Amino acid sequence: MHTQNQAAPGSLECVRRFINTWSIPNQTRVEVDDLPLLARDADKWRKELLLHPRAESDTLERLLELRSDLRKSCEGVDDGNHLLNAWLALAALSVQVKPGEGGAPELCVTPADTSYISNILASVANAISSGTWLRLKTCDDCRWAFYDKTRNGSKRWCGMTKGGVEGRACGTIAKVSAFRARAAAKKSPMVDGG
Ligand SMILES: [Zn+2]
């Protein structure tokens, strides 16, 4: 299962969960989309996506589109800013300046309506403003969205562990190749290559 230490701070965690409603579980390596089911079931929606219920304006079509664009931004596909700007231009958001740490002015974005989409976009805007958005990444291997808590922000794999007979840990192949390359370069007699 996915470990707690991938969780993003504050409301960015809602965004991470939303992006992960599409996933490729390591056990099966087959794409799974939970969003259509969640959109039909208010209880499941609340449990999986936290806090904000779905409004009438949150059509499945728009939710799928938003999820796809947020994922592209996290994966660095295309021009992520362009995609986000298109959403922010249409979103019902209220922007205010408030005293932050040490009294320095800080931008605070809040949703101006009760839609799920506005809530998500407000969280994204606040994450960009505070610098945490860059740390919401997708695994190079399975594309699971995780929050990078490493000091230098260098994490590339979600850290999913082997989940079954067919399962494997993300990044294992790359890590093993890198280890073997380093070992070969050293030509240490202690390394047997196995
Ligand atoms: Zn992964």
Ligand 1 centroid distance, CA of 147 (Å)? 12
Q: Is the pLDDT of residue 50 over 80?
A: no
Residue 194 lies in a domain: no
Tokens of 96: 């205010």
Query: What is the CA(91)–ligand 1 centre distance, in A?
Result: 31
Q: Considering the domain boundaries, does residue 67 fall inside one?
A: yes
Residue 158 CA to ligand 1 center (angstroms) comes to 4
* 184 CA → ligand 1 middle, Å: 27
Q: How far is residue 94's CA from residue 173's CA, in Å, rounded to a whole number?
A: 46
**Cα(159) to centroid(ligand 1), Å:** 6
Least trusted range by pLDDT, from 98-107, 115-124, 176-185: 176-185
Q: Does 156 reside within a domain?
A: yes
Is 191 among the domain residues?
Answer: no
Taking 90 as the threshold, does the pLDDT of residue 172 lie above it?
no
27: domain CATH number is 1.10.3300
Centre of ligand 1 from the C-alpha of residue 137, in Å: 11
pLDDT at 24 over 70: yes
Nearest CA-CA partner of 139 in 19, 12, 14: 19
- Provide the domain limits for residue 165: 4-186
**Residue 11 neighbours by CB distance under 10 Å:** 17
Question: What pLDDT score does 2 carry?
Answer: 47
Give the rounded percent of residues in the chain with a pLDDT score beyond 90.
49
Query: In Å, how far are 31, 81, 126, 150 from 142, measured between CA atoms?
Result: 10, 23, 27, 19
**DSSP tag of 113:** S
Indicate whether 76 belongs to any domain: yes
Q: Decide if 123 is inside a domain.
A: yes
Q: What percent of the chain has pLDDT over 70?
A: 84
Give the residue-averaged pLDDT of 149-156: 89
More confident residue, 183 or 67: 67
Query: Longest C-alpha distance within the chain, in Å?
Result: 67
Name the domain count of the chain: 1
Residue 56 lies in a domain: yes
